[in-house]
Each structure stands twice: as structure tokens, then as C-alpha cells.
Amino acid sequence: MLIPPVLYGPCIRFNQENGMKHSRPIVIKLGTSTLTQGTKKLCRKKMLDIVRQISILHEQGKQIVIVSSGAMAAGREIMKDPKLDRLLPRKQMLASVGQVHLMHIWSELFALFDIVVGQVLLTRDDVSNRKRYLNSRDTLHSLLKHHVIPIINENDTVATQEIRVGDNDNLSALVANLIAAEYLILLTDQGGLFTADPRLNPTAQLIPLIEKIDANIYRLAGKPSDALGQGTGGMITKIEAAQLASQSGTSTIIGSSNHPDILLDIVAGKSVGSRFLATTTLRESRKRWLLSEKPQGKIVIDHGAAKHLMDAGASLLPAGIIKAISNFERGNIISIESETHPLAVGITNYSSSEIETIKKIHSQSIEEVLGFSYGPEVVHRDNMTMIK
């Protein structure tokens, strides 16, 4: 599955002296082993410590998104049922009960620091279907804009095998792609990726920096392991997540939740855990993806709009549109053309029928004409690449 990269702002790289300076969000994935601390119940003490660290980052102006496991563990705690059943309907039942309990705990803990959280449940369909992709992205973007911390989990109660991501490591990578995150932090019970299993080999050494993920890296990851059977991942799924994130322009850090102030140290630029470098910039990834896809339709624009796109790198507004050609939906990739030749390709925020309704009008009139608005731009400049 090809996941589209979307750019929100300029990429500001990691700086050892100044830590993580960025204008893009940080995704933090918290696994079941972290939240339960090796037991069969959620560890409130550990959760509070994580909230404390995130509250400091939040106060510093960092945009934080949490991908939280633990719903089924919370469900077993509420139902007083430690049985580990592999049947999907039973798992979905436990997740349904546990998700409410889990979010209640998160909400209460963050409230101690006057931080509002919002729950977001996703399936693979929400990031592979372009229309849902845009809707999910816009929701997360709006939460962050209003200083709300999104807490995300897979929608286990409705997800079938076909649309399940399957583990929150890969879900967190998809979320990192969805919001164009600068960093993905995967907290676990291990200090990072080692040359051997440190639980079995006392001479195992931490690998602090991984520039390229290959077969050797996967071999070092070993096999999925969870003594209590509560998690769905392991080091392999974390490597998979790091690889997916790196291809979208996001660097990944795997670190131990038991390291004191682990999140603060990572964001401060200290050398902790294993860091997987992004293999491309977000802009390059986005451009390659847009140019590789077949446009579903065309938008023909006038000379003034074409000049703004070519010379100023502007977004496409409805005022400069002459017409839409072919039937296409919001979220489709379309070709942007002058009356003589193609200029760019991009992701449209409006369907062809909506564009025909709002063409040649000012952006502030969109809501009045349509009864709703997805924003002032028909195609945002960050979701557009020029054709040379």
C-alpha cells in the first residue's frame, strides 16, 4: 500500500546543540508493555510520569500526538477477566470496554496539567482511502491547532481483518505520515536496537544510529516476544514502522520507557535509544508520490492563477479556475493546467462538481455558496508539485 506524504511546513533538522527544533509534530507511541510495566493492569504511576514529560513538551510549544495501546489490557482489568483470547470478536469486546476506561485515565491525568485531550480511532481504511485520509488529517491538524493532544488507537471494535493495521507500531508510522511528523518516538521496555538480545546476551551493545534499514537490521530484531501475550508487536514491528516512517521523511527513535525523562532527553537532543534516520525529505517523498500517480481529472486555470503558481509558489484558489474536467472527488490527484499545457499535479480539496460551483469566486464566499468549506484553497501549495 502506497501511503501519500503530506507536507505541513518546512523541515527543520535535528540539531545536537539545540535539540529537536521543528515546526512539525512529534508522534509518541506507547505500547502495552510500557503502560502495564510487565503486569496485567495499567500502571497509573508510569502513565502519570509520561503525562508529566509530555506536559513539559506541550508547555514548550511542541505539538504532540500520542498513539496509545492498552485498550484490551484495560478491558480485561474492568471485566476482571485475565483470559487471553485470540478470537477477534472477544478482542473487540474487550477493546470496546477498555477504550473508554483507558481514555478516562488519560483525560484525568492530563487534566492535572490543564491539558485537554481528544480521542481519535483509526483503521487502515482511514489512511488508504484518500477522502478519509484528508478528513483524518484535517481533524488531527485542527486538534493540534487548538492545543489539544490527540490520543489515537486503532478502531478495534469495528476493524475487520482486511482493514486492520494489526499493531500500533505500524499505526503510529501511518499517523506520522498522516500529519507529516518530524519524529516518531517508539517507547518500549528495551533501550533500543541491540547487536543481540540484551536479555539473553550480556555483551549485547546498543546501536545508537541506523542510517539504512536492511536485512541485517531485521535479523537483529529477532522474533516477536511478549511474555504476557498482551501486545501485538515486538522489535520487528518497530523496525517496520521505522522503515515506513523513514520513507515518508520522518526519523524514528526507539527508546526505553524506563529511562528517566526519556521523552525530554530525546527532544533535547541527547543520545538515548536507537535513532533511525529518514531516507528522504518529506518534500522529495511527496513530489515522487504525486508524479507517480495518474491524475483523476483536470482543473483549467486562467493566466493570472498560472502566474501565481509558477512564480510565487501560491496555492490554487477558486477565483482563478476556469473549469473542472472529468468527474473526481475530494482527495483525488488532479492535473492543474493552463489553457495550453499542464503546470502541476496536486491533491484537490474539492470535488469536480463543487469546483464547478465555486469557480471564479473569492475564497471567503465558499461557505456561503456551498454551505460548507474545506478551506480557502482548492489545492494547497503543500499538496502540489510543479511539472517542469
Q: Was 371 annotated as part of a binding site?
A: no
pLDDT tens string 108-161: 999 999 999 999 988 877 777 777 888 888 899 999 999 999 999 887 655 554
152 half-sphere exposure, CB direction, 13 A CA radius: 31
In this structure, the number of other CB atoms found within 10 A of the CB of residue 200 comes to 8
Q: Give the residue ranges of DSSP H helices in 37-129.
A: 44-59, 71-79, 88-111, 125-128
Structural domains in the chain, CATH included, are 26-284 (3.40.1160.10), 293-386 (2.30.130.10)
Question: Can you give the pLDDT at residue 157?
Answer: 59
Quick one: residue 172, left, alpha or beta (phi over 0 = left, psi -120 to 50 = alpha)? alpha
In this structure, the number of other CB atoms found within 10 A of the CB of residue 340 comes to 9
**Largest Cα–Cα separation, the chain:** 69
- Cα–Cα dist 168/101, whole Å: 18
Q: Was 32 annotated as part of a binding site?
A: no
Sign of CA dihedral 39, 44, 45, 48: positive
Determine contact, residues 235/192, Cβ cutoff 8 Å.
no
- Cα–Cα dist 12/363, whole Å: 31
Q: Which helix (H) or strand (E) holds 366?
A: helix 366-370
Question: DSSP class of residue 66?
Answer: E
Q: Was 388 annotated as part of a binding site?
A: no
Q: Was 285 annotated as part of a binding site?
A: no
Q: What is the pTM of this model?
A: 0.78
- Cα–Cα dist 292/198, whole Å: 43
The three grid cell numbers given for residue 358, joined into one nine-digit string: 465555486
Q: Which residues of the chain have pLDDT under 70?
A: 1-23, 82-86, 156-166, 223-233, 388
The three grid cell numbers given for residue 153, joined into one nine-digit string: 488507537
Q: Phi first, then psi: what are they for 135, rounded to 5°? A: -65, -45
Q: Was 69 annotated as part of a binding site?
A: yes
Question: Can you give the pLDDT at residue 223?
Answer: 61
Determine contact, residues 185/263, Cβ cutoff 8 Å.
yes
| Pairing label, strands 149-154, 26-30 | unpaired
Q: Was 233 annotated as part of a binding site?
A: yes
* Residue length of the chain: 388
SS3 of residue 199 by DSSP: coil
Q: Was 62 annotated as part of a binding site?
A: no
- Cα–Cα dist 62/116, whole Å: 15
In this structure, the number of other CB atoms found within 10 A of the CB of residue 75 comes to 24
SS3 of residue 238 by DSSP: helix
Question: Can you give the pLDDT at residue 130?
Answer: 73
Q: Was 188 annotated as part of a binding site?
A: yes
Q: Was 169 annotated as part of a binding site?
A: no
Q: Was 189 annotated as part of a binding site?
A: yes
Q: Was 156 annotated as part of a binding site?
A: yes
SS3 of residue 278 by DSSP: coil
Q: Was 269 annotated as part of a binding site?
A: no
Q: Phi first, then psi: what are they for 272, rounded to 5°? A: -135, 145
